[in-house]
Amino acid sequence: MEYTAQMIADYLKGEVEGDRDQILTGFGKIEEARPGELTFLSNPAYTKYVYTTKASAILVNRDFVPEKKIKPVLIRVNDSYKALAMLLNLVEQNRQQPAGIHSLAFLESSVQTGKDVYAGPFAYVGKNVKIGDRVRIYPHVYIGDDVRIGNDTVIYPGAKIYHGTVIGKNCVLHAGCVIGSDGFGFAPTAGSDYEKIPQIGIVELEDYVEVGSNTTIDRATMGRTVIRHGAKLDNLIQIGHNVDLGERTVMAAQTGIAGSSKIGKDCMIGGQVGINGHLKIAEGVKIAAKSGVHNSIKKDNEIVSGIPAIPMRQFRKMLFYMKNLPEIYQKLRELENKFQELSK
């Protein structure tokens, strides 16, 4: 990367404040950046570093007002965080991408591939698979029979995609994820044994879905497990059979959703959240980290926390009283003693 501050401002439809010809060759965190690097200010907690950073330029919001003189060039934009995302995407797109089917990759003869497909060493693609244009399949990926993969999807090393899975366009599947493994279905029988219930459904990822490393998405018992358009899953997440995850919903690491729950669109789910099976979560719901959701959440845009998860305002009140329990207990003991004295 080597651009002038003005070139970057033009691309972002922003304005330069300072040396328009300042050369920028990379990116850096605002507190660690070096000369020649571009950084950004989005979180007000980092404002103090604007005056000490060694970066040569800083992306800031248009309404940012410095309290004293700033040495780096300022590039003012409508939203500095979104502007950074645009630049990083531009850099990623300009990276040289692998191409062609490697001689050590194995594709069954019935596989249909689009244009400019890449398959790395030791990747396996099963029978009757259909692969769209510009799909990248990195080494050691397993793709089972009858899978469908849309244009511009990227599948990183070691991912496993079971038979019948449908993957849309522009999806990203990170290393080690497993898509389409059996749902957890067992019927108790006489004695202590369990009868396995065959899982004959599929998993479908709609367009622009991203699945983090070592995340697992179980196939449906019957029908589909669906991850809808634009949903983003972090690493180490478990999605149970027949779950329906809404559009643009985002989910942090180590969260688990039990089977047949339906999550609305535009939800935000923190890390280590547990969601019970057969529940419905309304649209725009936010679930704080480590919460346990035992019942459906019916109100759109509700914010919940705790085990069991309750509305955030109620949870904060409860937390306040919990912090004061020792004092409350002591006062109760004193009142009890006084009551006993008065009774005598």
Which regions of the chain carry the CATH code 2.160.10.10? Answer: 100-315
The partner residues of 26 in beta bridges, in order of sequence, read 37
Catalytic residue among 163, 229, 241, 294: 241
Catalytic site residue 278? no
Report which secondary-structure segment, H or E, holds 316. Answer: helix 312-323
Q: In the CATH hierarchy, which top-level class contains the domain 100-315?
A: mainly beta
Which regions of the chain carry the CATH code 3.40.1390.10? Answer: 3-94
pLDDT of residue 101: 96
**Residue 67 DSSP symbol:** S
Cis-peptide, bond into residue 308, ω within 30° of zero = yes
Which tokens belong to 119? Answer: 């398959």
pLDDT of residue 343: 86
Note the pLDDT tens digit of each residue in 90-136.
888 888 888 899 999 999 999 999 999 999 999 999 999 999 999 99
Q: Which fold has domain 3-94?
A: 3.40.1390
Which residues, at least 6 apart from 323, have a Cβ–Cβ distance to it below 8 Å?
Answer: none
Greatest Cα pair distance, the chain, in angstroms, is: 95
Q: Looking at the predicted structure, is the pLDDT value of residue 63 above 90?
A: yes
Q: Backbone dihedral region of 204: left (phi > 0), alpha (psi from -120 to 50 degrees) or beta?
A: beta
pLDDT of residue 192: 75
How high does pLDDT run on average in the chain? 95
First-to-final CA distance of the chain: 86
